[in-house]
């Protein structure tokens, strides 16, 4: 069964600190792994997309890693800002149609 | 470039009533998706269109949900009759083509509350 699991479910950090969000996936056939940011009341916005041959990809202060052997991914946020407060969703894309399998998300709250 | 537009943004109805949501995808995007996102969960695909044809509607509760994409552009999603468990955010997304590496662009969603 295709599924994506994320941890932790929620996280509170102080502004300026770093944090890492985790994702375990079972997606077959695997095409790519994505991280989305979803602000409250908004639709998800893509941060990174990685295929199995990529093990790291950055987008500003966001760095995603992918270990295709262990089927794990992480999203590292450097020097957090208040605007990073959002839900971060790990998503696996399956096969040729690109059907997306969503995790339940990690809710990040950055406090001043 | 204009993003995916959805309306209304919020809707409150009583159970057993009907409701319809509208989506206008990014111009030129052939693939359109409707997702249901229950509070605290990730989005769940309800239906996927390629132009005006249905590609995947395996998770659409067809006894009460229906969707159409006339002329391969705008789309509407209808619920009739609504149940309490339909309370969720309904997201519309579009992508240029039906490819696994295509990015999906999401609209702001419609928040439905069923009383």
Tens digit of pLDDT for each residue in B2-35? Answer: 799 999 999 999 999 999 999 999 999 999 999 9
* CB contact burial A95-107 (16+ within 10 A = b; e otherwise): eebbbbbbbbbbb
pLDDT at A47 over 90: yes
**Which burial class, exposed, middle or buried, applies to A92 when counting CB atoms under 10 A from its CB (0-12, 13-18, 19+)?**
buried
Of residues A28 and B9, the one with the higher pLDDT is B9
Beta bridge partners of A19: A77
Write the DSSP symbol of residue A59: E
CA A65 vs. chain centroid, Å, equals: 9
Phi-psi region of A98 (alpha: psi -120 to 50; beta: other; left: phi over 0): left
Chain B partners within 8 Å of A52 (Cβ): none
User: Could you read off the pLDDT of A66-81 as tens digits, one per residue?
Assistant: 999 999 999 999 999 9
Please name the residue of chain B whose CA is at the shortest distance from the CA of residue A102.
B42
Partners of residue B91 in chain A, C-beta under 8 Å: 43-44
The secondary structure element, H or E, covering residue B105 is: strand B105-106
Helix, strand, or coil (residue A34): strand
Cβ within 8 Å, pair B42-A104:
yes
Cα–chain-centroid distance for residue B9?
Answer: 12
Residue with tokens 């309800």: B46
B107 neighbors B23 (Cβ within 8 angstroms): yes
Reported in sequence order, the residue ranges of chain A that DSSP labels E, i.e. its strands, are 3-7, 10-14, 19-26, 30-38, 45-51, 56-59, 62-67, 72-77, 86-94, 99-102, 106-111
Question: Buried b / exposed e across B61-81, counting CB within 10 Å, b at 16+?
Answer: eeeebbbebeeeeebebebee
Q: What is the pLDDT of residue B101?
A: 72
Q: Which residues pair with B59 in a beta bridge?
A: none
CA of B10: which chain A residue's CA is closest?
Answer: A41
Q: Does A100 touch chain B (CB under 8 A)?
A: yes
User: What's the token pair of residue A37?
Assistant: 């940011």
At residue A57, the pLDDT reads 95
Flag if A97 and B102 touch (Cβ within 8 Å). Answer: no
Mean pLDDT of chain A: 94
**Interface contact A51, partner B, CB < 8 A:** yes
Q: What is the pLDDT of residue B1?
A: 62
Partner-chain residue, chosen from A44, A91, A97, that has the shortest CB–CB distance to B98: A97
Average per-residue pLDDT for chain B: 93
- Size of chain B, expressed as the number of residues it contains: 115
CB contact under 8 A, B101 and A91: no
């Amino acid at each position: 069964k295709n599924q994506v699991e994320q941890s932790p479910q929620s996280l509170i950090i102080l502004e300026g600190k770093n944090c890492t969000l985790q994702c375990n996936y079972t997606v077959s056939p695997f095409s790519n792994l994505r991280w989305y940011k979803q602000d409250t009341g908004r639709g998800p916005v893509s941060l990174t997309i990685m295929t199995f041959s990529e093990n790291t990809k950055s987008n500003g202060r966001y760095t995603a890693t992918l270990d295709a052997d262990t089927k794990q991914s992480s999203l590292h946020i450097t020097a957090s800002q208040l605007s990073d407060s959002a839900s971060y969703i790990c998503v696996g894309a399956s096969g040729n149609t690109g059907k997306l399998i969503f995790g339940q998300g990690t809710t990040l709250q950055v406090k001043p | 470039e204009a993003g995916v537009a959805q309306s209304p943004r919020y809707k409150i109805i009583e159970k057993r009533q009907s409701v319809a949501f509208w989506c206008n995808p990014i111009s030129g995007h052939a693939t359109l998706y409707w997702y249901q996102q229950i509070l605290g969960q990730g989005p769940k695909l309800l239906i996927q269109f390629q132009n005006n044809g249905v590609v995947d509607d395996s998770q659409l509760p067809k006894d009460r949900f229906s969707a159409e994409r006339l002329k391969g552009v705008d789309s509407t999603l209808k619920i009739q009759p609504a149940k309490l468990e339909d309370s969720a955010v309904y997201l519309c997304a579009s992508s240029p083509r039906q490819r696994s590496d295509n990015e999906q662009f999401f609209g702001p969603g419609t928040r439905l509350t069923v009383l």
